[in-house]
Structure 1
């Protein structure tokens, strides 16, 4: 390390009033000093200055839009559905579609020591989430005789473990060259009182993941976008890692995105109906003729509780974080002169290292502002953003919590209910309770069937005995 480099970094920090970040310098060995200088050099200083000033002046970030109206949505059973399906199938078969998974989370809240995508999710075999998605891709590739590349955004925390998990499982039968992983970006954390950057330890600036909205920049930065373009990919099917019922590539959805009159084929989304006004999910709305997603905490309660004549919520189009993106559109947003997604602030409690005292500080309450980008902020950038309605019981069984709603227990029940319904369509007697819930565990692997009709001609049992289970 040269003294010239240290001098330049000192001048940089002085210019941005962050000289305290070198407070632990004397404690560091040569390797740690080099790492700190590298980290400081790569920080987004223009953004830091803007955020710091807004914190100091108590400027609110990104107020929610006003003049909200319910969105237009597309019926998957409508008269155009068959045409949408056929068009989507054509696009998949032509090699125009790739899958993209947001998989930066850890399984900590589930009591699982590892990346969330490695969590055992299915009702009988306990197949991990990544394996479910891989088998869907294998099934679609077999059906359409095409390669469907899979891009996976990890995080700095779980990237190595995710890569190792895929290698240990031989990429779940997929070719390694068609899977590309890359970590999401990070942003420095800010002192909520002063706006200054914080140290996580001597020589390490405190940082946090930049949110699922950082996926777009991560795609560009990692070379994933360039890889898509070289393969002729024009549509990215994006989904979160925690939903075992997500349709990784959905013909009807892809066809709607490409050909519906309400779509500019830039960004499309899926929705389910909110279960109640207080459900913590973002909702689709119309604002000045464009589709937006409004966070549940930003939707005024007087609007959240309004109901239509049929009893449904007027603002009940809940986002399930399933989107389609046009590759040229994402390239435009992330390229030179593009319009990046806005930053959202979250006030959190986090310990930090104080250079003055040489000790860690454990705050009593929230003390840190962390910046995140939200992927749904891409939605209003589209000229016309289409929304496909779907059934919660068919496509949304997230595993977010250890117990209660959105837990493994509720997800596996939804999975068994869905597959029990498929079997009943083929004459199989499946036990139910008085509420119509399936009372046995059922798992149908994607390579066996992707939809009920795929079971035609299969060797199915006449009945499943109470207390039993079935894996197909």
Structure 2
């Protein structure tokens, strides 16, 4: 651990001597914690970090209008326009790679749920599904299912290791949550948690913010901190030992994410790419999402603030937006590409500015909760490695099928627990009716069609466990000609009970318990 003298000299050189302003008032334990925190910071690069943050926050947003190009058609795959045979071929390729233990998933779960209004990791959040499942449990069960599907097809016994990048804020509660839930049935050795670095938040004049007298205000270095974290925690070595060649990388907050999606993986492998991105069509020209495109021939994500309105509104001959490929933080990487980024490019990643309200102590030691933004948190983004790819591809998917993020507390306009829950329940209702089931609403009235279920409205509570169906497959044998009330949870036990009812009858089911069983009248 750093000595006081060494810390003082380094802070003085960086123009941050005020960090030790309250040292005489600190107890022994507080002093040790502060020195430990300082020893984990890149003190040599601290001046550049602080000055760079202030300069970046003051700079006007760049405009790339004249240099923007859409991704060329030969680099794009799509579940919307791909024919059935092509999609089946990609799925088979993906399942083959999974069956050979070549695929891992990498979850980005280091951010704080500040906007959501909770003091614990987002992955632990229960959006109010009938089952009460958390985001972590839903994703774990999708890993179970995709392993099972590949094993059944190829006669294998495969493993999809789950790498979870956490932060100082999320590591301990995430570890505890997984242990308390027996890793949701996954083998603990196949769930690898590791921590990303933290960096100081600074004021608009480039000074480190003190959260308390003995602690700097720290923040994760963004999901682009992944590449440094892979090195710090020897994760790439673990992947190599397991024989993992392909990684599906995604953010924790998307309730509809298809974890280790065989179709996406198969598409990327068949194209021989080292880096790929799933995208959804922008809902409207000014939607505040980054756009995957090219800038002077180089693939990258351009922030919506960098695209002038007249460019965002450009349309092609079919009326489609020219720059429509909305980034959803859902990516494919080869392990070899991640290794190359870690060795050559991680220090070249662009720094992004996030202006935040950061609680602090003033020069007199008084605790202050700001009412307006007062600090700068610098972040790197996972997608900023796209320009380093040799064979970058884009995979377009349907928003309603694969993207519904959880970012804000209820009461916000979008991306809330309610919209996430309704998106999943709407999807499951659609699967059930497509499989031949008739669903009844709370009043006993039959839903006329999947179109009567909308993610934007209150959805009938018909929930399908990922252990039963990964993406709507295999439901016809269970649900065809069934009439089922809602709320209803179709879990493994309930599915077996329904299949035992031959021939199908009107299922006079009164209600479901939280665990997914049903009560017969």
Could you state the TM-score of these two structures normalised by the residue count of structure 2? 0.82
Q: Any conservation in 1 of the 2:436–2:476 contact (CA below 8 Å)?
A: no
Which aligned pairs between 1:146-185 and structure 2 lie closer than 5 A?
Answer: 146-185=158-197
Alignment of 1:178-327 (within 5 A): 178-193=190-205, 195-260=206-271, 265-327=273-335
Map of 2:400 onto structure 1: 393
Name 1:60's counterpart in structure 2. 59
Aligned to 2:147: 141
Contact 1:122/1:244, CA 8 A, preserved across alignment: no
- Cα shift readout 1:427-450 (whole Å, capped 9, x = no counterpart): 222444789232522211111112
Alignment-derived partner of residue 8 in structure 1? 6
Question: d(CA) in 2 for partners of 1:165 and 1:8?
Answer: 38
Distance in 1 of aligned mates of 2:185 and 2:481: 28
Match of 1:70 in 2: 70
Equivalent residue pairs, number:
464
RMSD across aligned C-alpha pairs, in angstroms? 2.5
CA shift at 1:374, angstroms? 1.0
Report the Cα distance in structure 1 between the residues aligned to 2:16 and 2:117, rounded to whole angstroms. 38
* Structure 2: segments with no counterpart, 5+ residues: 152-156, 440-445, 454-458, 492-521
How far apart are residue 30 of structure 1 and its match? 2.3
Q: 1:436 aligns with which of 423, 442, 451?
A: 451
- The offset of 1:256, in angstroms, is 1.4
Q: Residue 92 of structure 2 contacts residue 262 of structure 2 at CA under 8 Å; is this kept in 1? A: yes
1:316-395 to 2 correspondences below 5 Å: 316-335=324-343, 339-355=347-363, 357-363=364-370, 365-395=372-402
Return 292-301 or 435-444, whichever deviates more.
435-444
| Matched position secondary structure for 2:294 | strand
Residue in structure 1 matched with residue 43 of structure 2 by the alignment: 45
- Would the alpha carbon gap of residues 369 and 56 (structure 1) be closer, same or farther in structure 2, given more than 3 Å must change? closer
Q: Is the partner of 2:332 in helix, strand or coil?
A: strand
Q: Is the 8 A contact 2:127 2:418 kept in 1?
A: no
Query: Contact conserved, 1:417 with 1:437, CA < 8 A, in 2?
Result: no
Counterpart in 2 of 1:464?
Answer: 484
Query: 1:286-324 deviations in whole A, cap 9, x for unaligned?
Result: 122222111222222111122233332221111111101
Residues 126-160 of structure 1, C-alpha deviation per residue, up to 9 Å, x if partnerless?
A: 21111111111111222322011101112211221
Moved more, 374-383 or 309-318: 309-318
Contact 1:415 1:442 in 2 (8 A): no
How far does residue 68 in structure 1 lie from its aligned partner after superposition?
Answer: 0.7
Q: CA deviation at 1:395?
A: 0.9
Name the structure 2 match of 1:36.
34
1:174-218: CA deviation from partner (whole Å, max 9, x where unpaired): 11111011222211111212x122222122222111111112211
Q: Distance in 1 between matches of 2:391 and 2:60?
A: 26
When structure 1 is superposed on structure 2, of 116-125 and 142-151 the one drifting more is 116-125
Deviations 1:56-80 (A, max 9, x none): 6677398454511112321232464
Alignment partners' CA distance in 1, 2:191 and 2:451: 40
Which residue does 1:452 correspond to in 2?
472
Distance change in 2, residues 1:63/1:50 (3 Å): farther
Contact 2:246 / 2:334 at 8 angstroms: preserved in 1?
yes
Whether contact under 8 Å (1:334, 1:340) holds in the other structure is: no
| Cα shift at 1:94 | 0.9
Aligned in 2, Cα 1:168/1:52: closer, same or farther, shift over 3 Å?
closer
CA 1:122–1:312: 2 relative to 1, 3 Å: farther
**In the alignment, what sits opposite 1:407?**
416
CA distance in 2, matches of 1:134, 1:255: 21
CA distance in 1, matches of 2:55, 2:382: 27
Q: For the structure 1 residues 441 and 361, does the alpha-carbon distance in structure 2 shift closer, same or farther, using more than 3 Å as the test?
A: closer
Higher relative contact order (CA 8 A, sep 6+): 1
- 1:114, 1:161 within 8 Å by CA — same for their partners in 2? yes
Q: Report the Cα distance in structure 2 between the residues aligned to 1:196 and 1:165, rounded to whole angstroms.
A: 36
My pick for the range that moved more, 46-55 or 294-303, is 46-55
CA distance in 2 between partners of 1:272 and 1:90 (Å): 26
Q: Distance in 1 between matches of 2:36 and 2:399?
A: 46
Q: CA deviation at 1:278?
A: 2.6
- Contact 2:430/2:450 (<8 A) preserved: no
Structure 1 unaligned spans of 5+: none
Cα distance change on mapping 1:32 and 1:468 into 2, 3 Å = closer
Following TM superposition, by how much is the alpha carbon of 1:364 offset from its aligned partner in structure 2, in angstroms? 5.4
Tell me what 2:428 maps to.
419
Q: Deviations over 1:28-57 (max 9, x none)?
A: 122322222232233223432223344566
User: How do residues 100-111 of structure 1 correspond to structure 2 at under 5 angstroms?
Assistant: 100-107=106-113, 109-111=115-117
Change in CA separation of 1:460 and 1:162 when aligned onto 2, cut-off 3 Å: farther
Between the aligned partners of 1:42 and 1:411, the Cα distance in structure 2 is: 37
Say which SS state the counterpart of residue 452 (structure 2) adopts.
coil
Indicate if the aligned counterparts of 2:437 and 2:479 stay in contact, CA closer than 8 A: no
Q: Does the 8 Å contact 2:10/2:43 carry over to 1?
A: no
Q: Which aligned pairs between 1:89-108 and structure 2 lie closer than 5 A?
A: 89-107=95-113
Aligned to 2:137: 131
Instruction: Check 1:13–1:423 CA distance in 2 against 1; reply closer, same or farther (3 A cut).
Output: closer
